Structure 1
Amino acid sequence: MAFTLATWNINSVRLRAGLVARLMGEEAPDVICLQECKSPVDQIPLADFAALGYGHMVARGQKGYNGVAILSKLPITDVGDRDFAGLGHARHVAAKLDNGVTIHNFYVPAGGDKPDREINEKFGQKLDYLSEMRDWFHSERPEKAILVGDLNIAPREDDVWDHKKLLKIVSHTPVEVDALNAVMEAGQWVDVTRQDVPEGKLYSWWSYRARDWSAADKGRRLDHVWATSDIAAAGHGSRVLRDARGWEQPSDHAPVFASFDL
C-alpha cells in the first residue's frame, strides 16, 4: 500500500481550518497529522474535512492549548495515547492503518525561553517528556511504525539558520539534541526527512517576529517524520511545503511530507 502523509503544527485548527482545507485540496496527502490544534475534539470541524475526503479522525484535544489530530482518507483505528511527564496535556495520539502501520503524532513541549531547568520549569518538563519517550521506546520497542510531529528540536547544524548563534537557544541546545537522539536510538527510529534530503539547510518553522520571514530565512527544522528501521527504506519523497508559511494568516510552521510504499 502506498500512501503520503503530512505533519503540520497548525496553531489552531479552527482558526486555520481554511488552510487545512487548502492543503487537502492542493496536496491531497492520504494522512494529515496536526499539532497545537487548540480545540476540544468535538469542536474540530471534522464535517468540513470529511466533505473533502478526510472522514476518519483520531484526536486528543483541550480548550485553547496543545491538541493533536490525525485526519485520514484511509481507515484508521485509535490505538491510544500517553501522558508523558504527567503534564495532563493533549500531546500524543496514535492510530493504526489497515496495513498494520502505527502512526504516532507528537507535540513535544516547547520548553520556554531559558535552557535551564533550575530557573525554567518548562524546560525541565520538556527534558522529562523526552526522557519518558526514550524509556517507553526502550521498554516497548516499536515496529512497523511512523513517528511525526512538532518535536520542538532542530537537531542538526544544518537544521538551523546559524548553529553557533543558536547553541544557547531553546530548541537547539546540546542537552535537547542529546535527549532527542536518545529517543531516536531507543526506538531505532530513522529520520526519514534527512534520509531523503541528507545535506543542506532545511527548515519547517520561521518566527512571526521577522517582518519578512522568507527574506530573513532564519528558520529551524522543528517538525519531523521518523520511521522504525524495519520500514524506513520504504520512505521517500520527503519535502517541506515552504510556500504554506506565506499563506494568508499562516501558522509559523510549514507542512512536512513523506511517502511510503508498504
Structure 2
Amino acid sequence: MTPFTLATWNINSVRLRAPHVASFVEEAKPDVVALQEIKCLPDQFPRAAFEEMGLPHLHIVGQKGLHGVAIASRTPIEVLDQDALCPRGEARFQRVLVNGVELQNYYIPAGGDEPDPEINPRFKHKLDFLDRLKGYAADRAKENAPIVMVGDFNIAPREHDVWSHKQLLKVVSHTPVEVNALNAWMQAGEYIDVARELIDEPEKLFTWWSYRSKDWRASNRGRRLDHIWVSPALKDAALKDGRDSFRIWDEARSWEKPSDHAPVTLRLG
C-alpha cells in the first residue's frame, strides 16, 4: 500500500457545508476523505469544489435529500462491487480501492428514539443492518484483505465513549443491544478499533455533540459515533506511528453552522 492520510466526516449536507470541507482539507491535508449524510444525488454533488480542494477523484452513492455517502481522493480510485448491505436499499454504504487498500464507508442508521425493535421500525432496521454486516464481515475475513472501514456507525460502544455511561444506557446509540451488535460485527471480521487501540480508557473520546447544547464545549456531552476500523492485514500500518497518527478535529464543531459531527483522521502506513 501507499501511505496516506484518511479522513471520515458526517458532513450533514455536503452542498451546505462544502466550504467547511475545504477549510478542513486545507488544514488537515488528507489524501482521502470519506463523507456521510451527504443528502444529495450524485449529479447534485459539488464536484467543482472538491476539484479545487485537490480531491478530483470521486465516488458518490447518493439519495435525494437523505443519507448518502461519498469518497473523494487525491489519487485515482477503483470502484468495487457495491454489495447490497442496507436492508432497505438506502444509500448507506460504498467501497472502493484506493492507494492499495479497500476502503469501506458506512452510514449506519441512527435508529430513532425508542430502543425497542418491536415498536420502533427504525431501531429494528439498525439492528438488521448490523446483523447483515456481521455475516458480511465473517465472509470477508476469509480473504485476509487490507480493509479500512470508516463512517458514522451511530453507536458509542464503550463506557468512556459517552459523557455519562449510566445516563445513556437506555438512550439509542449506547444501549447494550446496539453495543453487542456492533461488537459482533467487529469480532466477525477480527477488526481493530483504531481509536481505542491507540488511546486507552478512561480517556474520553467524542466525535459528536448535539445541536441542542447552547455551549457544546462547556457541557461536553458528547459521544464517539464516528469510527475507523482496520482489518488484521492493516493493523501495523494503522498503529505504527502511535496516537499522533489519529486525531479528532473537534474545533470544526465550533464553526459557523457546523455539522454536529467532527472529522476524524488517521495516517496509514
TM-score range, shorter chain: over 0.9
Segments of 5+ residues of structure 2 without an aligned counterpart are 240-244
Please state if 1:115 is matched with 2:115. yes
- Name whichever structure is richer in helix by fraction: 2
- Selected match of 1:197 from 173, 196, 199: 199
Structure 1 residues 1-262: aligned runs within 5 Å = 1-99=2-100, 101-141=101-141, 143-199=145-201, 200-236=203-239, 237-261=245-269
Instruction: Tell me how many residue pairs correspond in the alignment.
Output: 260
What's the offset of the Cα at 1:233? 1.8
What's the offset of the Cα at 1:94? 0.5
Which string of whole-angstrom CA distances, capped at 9 and with x for unpartnered residues, describes residues 65-106 of structure 1? 00000111121111132332421210000010142x000000
| Separation (CA, whole Å) in 2 of partners of 1:115 and 1:34 | 26
Aligned residue type for 1:20: V
Which string of whole-angstrom CA distances, capped at 9 and with x for unpartnered residues, describes residues 202-243 of structure 1? 000000001111101000000000000121121141110010
| Separation (CA, whole Å) in 2 of partners of 1:73 and 1:85 | 28
- CA RMSD, Structure 1 to Structure 2 (Å): 1.0
Which string of whole-angstrom CA distances, capped at 9 and with x for unpartnered residues, describes residues 176-215 of structure 1? 0000000001111000111121221000000000111110
Moved runs in structure 1, 4+ residues, more than 3 A?
none
| Separation (CA, whole Å) in 2 of partners of 1:123 and 1:220 | 18
| Separation (CA, whole Å) in 1 of partners of 2:3 and 2:136 | 29
Contact 1:6 1:33 in 2 (8 A): yes
Q: Which residue is equivalent to 2:242?
A: none
What is the TM-score with the length of structure 2 in the denominator?
A: 0.94
State percent identity of aligned pairs.
50
SS in 1 for 2:26: helix
